[in-house]
Structure 1
């Protein structure tokens, strides 16, 4: 039961990536009911985290050394384009897919949509780091699970 509920909360894997539904609450908006720009970072983070989780790559497991040495992912660079506003009570879809996989990094393409209309596009470069913050190579088992189009 617990696993099924967690899977529902984590969105779902779809062809080419992951999709997570999120609702816009009052706390996500400014005084006019429009989503505050920084809140999109929260939605994107949830999408990335659940993308990893459904690929069997949980943050806690990474730090516990499940794939060899303890490691973590850290956002190194993010490019965001805000195309249209979201508003209170909207249900948004956060899409995440692997765009590029390298020795110590992964680039993820993310989009936030409402009813098929793209509101936000983001390219997120994530580095693999050790617990003390030093770069490290991505373990082959993690790279295999993330998969990517040929680069």
Structure 2
């Protein structure tokens, strides 16, 4: 692109909006300040780490935890029914805590799976999936050790 060419497009040396010294210098490749169509996408890091943390993988684990939650709920219900019929006709006092544990596991799993990638960091999302699985395991464990 030549600075004296009247048919040239983009910022030129005579253009007051030019950010560089010449049209073939830094102004021709400078991104738009407003992030519009002239903005350049950031270049990917050369030789990116293939073992870098992936948000997609954590979302898959959160979704898998939601599917496993159905099984944990069924196991919890079976344990509570077994205690009800084998004992005095009522499940023990940890029944509500077991159900709260399963409910919170589902909410944390949905949170970890559905929030946009830029809303929370990878470590927070990964920690939420760990909490989801811990709460999911807590439901049947509380039901199993519930004194009746």
TM-score, scaled to structure 1: 0.25
User: Between Structure 1 and Structure 2, which shows a larger proportion of strand residues?
Assistant: 1
TM-score, scaled to structure 2: 0.26
